[in-house]
Amino acid sequence: MEIRAAEVRDLESALAFHDALAPYLVVTRANLSGRLTGPPSSGQATFAAVDGDEVVGWGSTALTSGSDPLAGELRILVRPDWRGRGLGTQLLDAAHAELRSAGATSVRVFAEPSSAVWAARWGYAQTRQVHYAGIDPRKAPDLPGVPTGVELVAMNQADPRKLHAANEVAQRTKPGDAKIASQPYEEWVQEVWASPTTVLDLSVAAVLDDEVVGFTLGIGDRTRIWSKMTATMPEYRGRGLAKLIKAAALHRAAAAGVQNCYTANYDGNAPMLAVNEWLGYYRVATHSVLVCPL
């Protein structure tokens, strides 16, 4: 068994590994290929634990865009039959070293609740829980009525600068542990708008008086989509826009042949949990949200 930086030759085994352990995380070929072949980026690293040519453990890191103070995030997965042999410890140590070198002052991980005691050895403490949910988009309910003056458009038909402005508001007002200040437009374009994993044509924006008042952003491919972010501008909340745009996105996904859509919400985010319940999402997993100072 060897732990090393992940390489392109690990792609097929890594995809099978993620699909077997956590299909709801929507690790797609485009996403993983881009990560393994893209240019180096501060704080972003990927590690593989391999037995011969087979991936048995995986670790990945990233910086939280727009966070101030700078925060990091990571994911560690180990195949059940390989747990208890020190793989998780080695992957975690490598991930911490990468994030520290990039200047992160804290790190967040979503982990199985059974891992919380183990992670406490490094100083991790639970802040909340996150619930993963899935749906077959073909089973989504009919579209609610569209409020007067509101137009629903595919995200690639919206003004990217206005979407970025809406995202800035959404990031500052969403529940979470990292404090989001601001993400420069050029960085947002590269990370979101121009990313090959963002399904712009299957993401939806609500436009009123030429301004983006709500949006839902999806990433993935033509078989699975991860609903990464849904937001309504504060002055337009309580009018059913989140329900409307998420339903519209599910209808677009179904029409495109997508068979599974997934999302996640913190346990304290009652409004969005209620929206997802109305849409027909079913819970597939619950993780502990653990945060550690670096």
For 231-290, write each residue's pLDDT tens digit.
999 999 999 999 999 999 999 999 999 999 999 999 989 999 999 999 999 999 999 999
HSE of 27 in the Cβ direction (CA atoms, 13 Å)? Answer: 23
Q: Is 125 helix (H, G, I), strand (E, B) or coil?
A: strand
Mean pLDDT of 46-60: 97
The predicted model gives 127-147 an average pLDDT of: 96
Best CA proximity match to 291, nearest among 70, 108, 62:
108
What is this structure's pTM? 0.92
Compute the distance between CA of residue 252 and CA of residue 239 in angstroms, rounded to an integer. Answer: 22
Q: Are 266 and 168 in contact (CB under 8 A)?
A: no
Give the class (CATH, top level) of 2-104.
alpha beta
Domain boundaries, the chain: 2-104, 135-285
Q: Which helix (H) or strand (E) holds 131?
A: strand 125-135
pLDDT the model gives residue 177? 65
Contacts of 68 (CB under 8 A, 6+ apart): 179, 180, 181
Query: 72-96: buried (b, 16+ CB within 10 Å) or exposed (e) per residue?
Result: bbbbbbbbeeeeeeebbebbbebbb
Domains 2-104 and 135-285 share a fold: yes
Eight-class DSSP state of 67: B
Segment 9-31, tens digit of pLDDT: 999 999 999 999 999 999 999 99
Q: Is pLDDT at 175 greater than 80 in this prediction?
A: no
pLDDT of residue 9: 97
**pLDDT of the residue at 176:** 66
CA 211 to each of CA 88, 214, 229: distance values in angstroms, whole numbers, following the listed order: 46, 9, 18
- Spell out the residues 6+ positions from residue 95 whose beta carbon is closer than 8 angstroms to its own: 45, 47, 59, 60, 61, 74, 76, 107
Mean pLDDT of 139-154: 96
Domain 135-285 has CATH 3.40.630.30: yes
d(CA 163, CA 73): 24
